[in-house]
């Protein structure tokens, strides 16, 4: 069944992969040049030949699967050979695009299957399976692929249930395949720069007391997905695969049977950053949220809105105990406004940092009295003086310390001079010049090439902690009270 010729070159030695790994892990492009972080093998590694090709399959050909496909174009070593999806409307274009658009990596046809079972049976030469299905299928499909001896790159959120995520950890332990979860910020050089250089090694932010994260997505961007003309899946087929109807099939994220709502869909990336940045997990969470908008009522435009099951807005507050003291982290996800987009902010007593996958959110601020000049000098500085008129400078707007006095000053009161002095503005001196998923996919492929699970940037155990962190917020919403985490919550027996 596999029409792909077996033309993958044989591995030519571990040292070659190690060199390339070192380069890829440690290098990052910067404005005006290339910044090599840490212990890079630099240009010598860059000149090394690409690693052996890994025959890969994609299961789930929707928007996230397409994001993986496009990101994979800059990842050497990926060789797509097959896809699976129950919906031909998505499956067929995915296979054709892999054949046509990614021609530099793909030879021959990309075979199409309706189910992962059929794919695994008929494509025995596949080494790695990428899973980008609705969340409820992550656990069973990961186990299925791992037990067939494959390596697995599974999209986040690990699962829509903690039990599902727990089983994924077990499946990872019980099998030998490399198992990566798609929290791609773990491999983003700008995020790594913030964590390793700004926060950990040089402690520029000082004691971080608070974090804030948000993903606000306006109605126009979060409107329910419809069905393309004449592309309905027959109800019999939908039922066979566990879907109630096309509305739920297309908008599975909003129904607990399949997904875990915007908090999971969007927040999983960002709440995970609270854990990852400080190598910890929270001790408690309080949260509020509900289906306040997509409740089936008639909208302002006179059109009846979809009726969803999972909260379309959530606000939650985590408490962490860091060695330096308590850190509180607030997160919000809204589907009714795109105000200020999506980013995370880390606030310490010496400085603050704003970061996002969108490069325009790239600001680091020094509190008064902290001179960061020396960190912006030398061959490969990890911060740079902020350019004039950088986007979003309004966050910490510069001004003269001598504020204009209000008209009332001489009449009724003195001006309030306790307002903080404006912060000194810097930027992270690292950018990502490829699609956000690419470094994480590369990290996975390198790990498969070398069969080195320790090389993974987000293994299943780390992702499990994030999954628990996120999903426990729902428990807090339901109970209407603070929920405490225990060490057992984050472990799998």
Partner 1 sequence: MKLKSNILLIAGGLMAATLALSSCGEQKPASPSGGEAKKEAAAPAASGGGAAAANPAAAPANVPAGELVEIKPEYPKAMFVGTPVPVGDIPNLEKADPEAVKARLTFQLPKGTENVAKGKTVTSSDPLPIIGTLDLVTDGDADAADGCYVELAPGHQWVQIDLGAEYDVWKILLWHFHKQASVYFDVNVQISNDPEFKTGVTSVYNSDHDDSSKLGKGADLAYTETNHGRLIDGKGTRGRFVRIWSNGNTANEMNHYIEVSVYGTPAKK
Residues of the shown chain interacting with partner 1 in the complex, contacts defined by CB under 8 A: 89, 92-93, 96-97, 100-101, 103, 226-231
CA dist 450 and 120 (Å) reads 22
Dump the DSSP string for 44-84: HHHTSPPPPPEEEEEE--SHHHHHHHHHGGG-TTEEEEEEE
Min dist CB 99 to partner 1, Å, is 9
CA atoms within 13 A on the CB side of 427: 19
Min dist CB 434 to partner 1, Å, is 15
Min dist CB 134 to partner 1, Å, is 19
Handedness of CA 363, 368, 370, 376 (dihedral sign): positive
Pick from 406, 5, 343: nearest CA to 190? 343
Min dist CB 254 to partner 1, Å, is 19
- 3-class DSSP state of 153: strand
Min dist CB 133 to partner 1, Å, is 20
Pick from 262, 382, 363, 245: nearest CA to 310? 262
Min dist CB 263 to partner 1, Å, is 27
DSSP-derived secondary structure letter, 302: S
CA dist 36 and 232 (Å) reads 50
Distance of CA 192 to the CA centre of its chain: 13
Min dist CB 252 to partner 1, Å, is 17
Min dist CB 349 to partner 1, Å, is 43
Q: The tokens of 203 are what?
A: 């402690």
CA dist 100 and 98 (Å) reads 6
Are the beta carbons of 315 and 289 closer than 8 angstroms?
Answer: yes
Longest dimension (CA), the chain: 88
CA dist 79 and 106 (Å) reads 6
Q: 104 or 418, CB closer to partner 1?
A: 104
CA dist 183 and 444 (Å) reads 12
Are the beta carbons of 212 and 330 closer than 8 angstroms?
Answer: yes
Min dist CB 95 to partner 1, Å, is 9
Q: 225 or 422, CB closer to partner 1?
A: 225
Q: The tokens of 23 are what?
A: 């380069």
Q: 70 or 284, CB closer to partner 1?
A: 70
Beta-carbon contacts of residue 23 (< 8 Å; ≥ 6 apart): 40, 41, 42, 45, 46, 48
Min dist CB 62 to partner 1, Å, is 13
C-alpha torsion angle, residues 392, 355, 346, 428 (rounded to 10): -90
CA dist 339 and 316 (Å) reads 18
Q: 109 or 209, CB closer to partner 1?
A: 109
Residues in the chain: 493
């Amino acid at each position: 069944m596999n029409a792909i010729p077996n033309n993958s070159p044989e591995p030519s030695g571990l040292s070659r992969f190690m060199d390339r790994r070192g380069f890829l892990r440690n290098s990052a492009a910067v404005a005006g040049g290339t910044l090599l972080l840490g212990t890079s093998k630099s240009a010598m590694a860059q000149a090394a030949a690409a690693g052996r090709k890994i025959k890969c399959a994609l299961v789930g050909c929707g928007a996230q699967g397409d994001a993986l496909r496009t990101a994979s174009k800059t990842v050497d070593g990926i060789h797509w050979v097959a896809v699976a999806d129950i919906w031909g409307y998505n499956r067929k274009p995915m296979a054709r695009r892999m054949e046509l658009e990614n021609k530099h990596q793909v030879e021959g046809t990309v075979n199409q299957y309706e189910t992962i079972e059929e794919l695994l049976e008929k494509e025995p030469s596949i080494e790695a399976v990428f899973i980008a299905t609705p969340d409820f299928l992550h656990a069973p499909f990961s186990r299925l692929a791992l037990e067939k001896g494959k390596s697995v790159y599974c999209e986040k959120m690990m699962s829509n249930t903690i039990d599902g995520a727990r089983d994924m950890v077990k499946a990872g332990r019980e099998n030998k395949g490399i198992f990566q979860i798609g929290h791609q910020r773990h491999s983003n050089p700008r995020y790594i720069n913030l964590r390793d250089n700004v926060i950990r090694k040089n402690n520029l932010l000082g004691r971080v007391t608070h974090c804030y994260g948000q993903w606000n997505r306006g109605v126009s961007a979060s409107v329910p997905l419809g069905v393309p003309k004449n592309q309905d899946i027959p109800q019999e087929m939908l039922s066979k695969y566990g879907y109630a109807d096309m509305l739920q099939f297309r908008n599975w994220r909003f129904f607990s049977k399949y997904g875990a709502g915007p908090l999971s869909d969007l927040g999983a990336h960002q709440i995970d950053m609270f854990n990852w940045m400080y190598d910890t997990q929270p001790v408690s969470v309080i949260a509020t949220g509900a289906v306040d908008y997509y409740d089936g009522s008639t909208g302002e435009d006179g059109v009846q809105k979809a009726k969803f099951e999972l909260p379309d807005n959530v606000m939650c507050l985590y408490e962490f105990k860091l060695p330096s003291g308590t850190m509180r982290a607030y997160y919000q996800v809204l589907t009714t406004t795109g105000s200020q987009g999506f980013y995370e902010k880390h606030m310490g007593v010496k400085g603050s940092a704003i970061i996002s996958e969108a490069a325009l959110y790239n600001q680091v601020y020094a509190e008064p009295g902290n001179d960061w000049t020396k960190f912006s000098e030398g061959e490969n500085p990890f911060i740079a003086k902020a350019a004039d008129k950088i986007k979003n400078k309004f966050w910490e707007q510069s001004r003269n310390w001598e504020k204009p006095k209000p008209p009332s000053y001489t009449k009724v009161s003195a001006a309030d001079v306790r307002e903080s002095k404006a912060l000194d503005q810097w930027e992270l001196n690292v950018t990502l010049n490829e699609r956000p998923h690419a470094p994480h996919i590369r990290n996975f492929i390198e790990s498969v090439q070398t069969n080195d699970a320790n090389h993974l940037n987000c293994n299943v155990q780390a992702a499990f902690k994030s999954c628990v962190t996120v999903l426990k917020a729902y428990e807090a919403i339901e109970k209407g009270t603070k929920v405490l985490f225990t060490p057992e919550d984050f472990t799998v027996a």
